[in-house]
Amino acid sequence: MLSFPSRQLSLASPQCAPVIYSSSLAVSQPLGPYRPTISPLCKPRLRCLTIRSIDAAQPYDYESHLQSKFHRSNSLKIAILGFGNFGQFLAKAFVRQGHTVIAHSRSDYGAVAKRLGVTFYSDLHDLCEQHPEVVVLSTSILSMEKVLRSIPLQRLKRSTLFVDVLSVKEFPRTLFMKVLPDEFDILCTHPMFGPESGKNSWAGLAFVYDKVRIGEDELRINRCEKFLDIFAREGCRMVKMPCSEHDKYAAGSQFITHTMGRMLEKFGLEYTPINTKGYETLLDLVKNTSGDSFDLYYGLFLYNKNALEQLQRLDMAFESLKMELFGNLQQIYRKQLFSDAEEETVQVRWSESRSVAPKLLHEGAPPAAPEAASETVA
Ligand code: NAP
C-alpha cells in the first residue's frame, strides 16, 4: 500500500511569477512558462513560481492506517521460554506471520535471536516486564517444572495466556493447573512435527491442542484463537484432543518411533548402492530422530505413564518374532537330525547283518546291542 505524505512542490521558473497555492497533489504535471500580463498599475512581484500541497487527509493514508490497525489487532506479542532447537523453529513461523517475538533461555541465544528477528532477554524479569500476551514454554520436558516455577508471574499481565508445546501432555497440564493462578489462561499443545519433519512445510501435519482453561472474556477467547490460527494458517491439521488421550496415542506411536529410530542408529544403518524404498524409510527414520536430544526421548519415557507398557509390548513382540524364526529353524534342524539318526541306524543294521566290525557311535560310545538298536529304531 502506497502512502504519500503531504508534500511541497516547488517549480522554479526562470520567469518571475505569482505564487500559486495548491491544496491537492493533482497539480503534479509540469507547468509551462507562465507569462503574466502585468498591469502598468501593478508593481510586478519578483518571486518564483511555487506550487504547494498542504496537509490533507489522503485516501492512501487512511487505508494504510486502517491496514496497520488491522495488522496490530491480529498480531500477538509472544514470549518463548526455552530458545533451543524447537523454540527457534517455532519463532521463525511466528515472525514470518508478523507477530512480535521475544525470547529467554538458559543459554545466551542473543545472536541467533537477532538473525531471526526476535528480541532476546537473558533476564527473565526483563522479558516479563514486556508484558507478552502469550508465553510459550518450549523447554525440555525434564526442566519444565523448574522453568515454570522460576517465572516472576507478578510481572506479567494478569490474564496472560500460557501455552506449552511439550511432547507429553498430561504432565504440563497438571503442572500449569498447580502453579498458575486462576487468572491465567492455559492452552496445552503438541505440534506433531519438528525441525526435520517440518522443515519444508507444515501443511497436513497434525497439531494437537487442548483448551485447558480459557477465560470467558471475548478478548481472551480471541487471543487463544489467534494463537491457534498461526498453525492453521501454516496448513496444520488441527486436532482438538484431551491431554490424557494424546498421551495414550503418543506412547504407542511417537515413543515407539523414537525408540526404533534410536535402536537403528545404535545398530548402525549404512547407505548401500542397492537401497530399497523400505530401507530408505528406515534411514529417514534415523535421520528424523537423531536430531532430537536424548532429554526429549527420556522425557517421552519418564513423563508419559503409558510409555513403559509400550516398551514392554515392543520387547515382547521382538521376542515372539525371534521365537517364530528360531521355531522354524529348530524344525528344520530336527528333521535333519532325525533323518541322520535314521540313516545311521540303517547303516548299523546293515553292518550287523554283514557281521563287519561295529562302528563307534557319537562321542565314542560303543554301539548298542542289536536288540537295543532295533528298540531305538522302533
Ligand atoms: P529439548 O532437549 O527437549 O529442550 C531443549 C530446551 O530446553 C532448550 O531451550 C534448553 O535451553 C532448555 N533446557 C534444557 N534443560 C534446561 C534446564 N535445566 N533449565 C532450563 N532450560 C533447560 O529439545 P527441543 O527439541 O528444543 O524441544 C523443546 C520442547 O519442544 C520439548 O518439550 C519437546 O518435547 C517439544 N517438542 C519438540 C519437538 C521436536 O521435534 N524437537 C516437536 C514437538 C515438541 P538452553 O538451550 O538454553 O540450554
Residue-level pLDDT at 327: 86
Residue-level pLDDT at 30: 47
Instruction: Report domain 242-345's class.
Output: mainly alpha
Testing ligand 1's pocket by substitution, the residue of 83, 88, 106, 253 carrying the most ligand atoms inside 8 A of its CB is: 106
Q: Which of 72-76, 91-95, 240-244, 325-329 has the lowest mean pLDDT?
A: 72-76
The C-alpha cell 522453568 sits at 147
Helix count (H) and strand count (E) of the chain?
Answer: 13, 11
List the residue whose alpha carbon is closest to atom 27 of ligand 1. 86
The residue ranges of every structural domain in the chain are 73-241, 242-345
d(CA 222, CA 204): 24
d(CA 300, CA 166): 9
What's the pLDDT tens digit per position in 124-176?
999 999 999 999 999 999 999 999 999 999 999 999 999 999 999 999 999 99
pLDDT at 191 over 80: yes
d(CA 127, CA 218): 26
48 phi/psi in degrees, rounded to 5: -85, 155
Give buried/exposed letters for 198-221 (b at 16+ CB in 10 A, else e): beeebeebebbbbebbebeeeebe
- Distance between Cα 322 and ligand 1 center (Å): 37
Q: Copy the grid coordinates of residue 121.
A: 532477554
Which residues have CB under 6 Å of ligand 1? 82-87, 105-107, 138-141, 143, 146-147, 165-167, 191, 194, 292-293, 295-296
The type of residue at 297 is Y
353 or 25: which carries more pLDDT confidence?
A: 353
- Distance between Cα 79 and ligand 1 center (Å): 15
For residue 56, the 8-state DSSP code is -
List the residue whose alpha carbon is closest to atom 3 of ligand 1. 140
Fold designation for 73-241: Rossmann fold (3.40.50)
β-partners of residue 208 are 190, 239
Interhelix angle 277-290/256-267, nearest 10 degrees = 100
Q: Find the mean pLDDT for residues 70-78.
A: 80
What's the pLDDT tens digit per position in 231-250?
999 999 999 999 999 999 99
Nearest to 142 by CA among 163, 124, 167, 162: 167
Q: Which of 135-144, 177-186, 262-271, 326-335 has the lowest mean pLDDT?
A: 326-335
Q: Find the mean pLDDT for residues 31-58.
A: 56
Testing ligand 1's pocket by substitution, the residue of 80, 81, 85 carrying the most ligand atoms inside 8 A of its CB is: 85
**Model confidence band, residue 347 (pLDDT cutoffs 50, 70, 90):** low
Q: Copy the grid coordinates of residue 374.
A: 532295533
Residue-level pLDDT at 313: 96
DSSP string, 195-210: TTTTSS--TT-EEEEE
Q: Find the mean pLDDT for residues 182-207.
A: 96
Is the whole-model pTM more than 0.85?
Answer: no
List the residue whose alpha carbon is closest to atom 42 of ligand 1. 194
290 or 114: which carries more pLDDT confidence?
A: 114
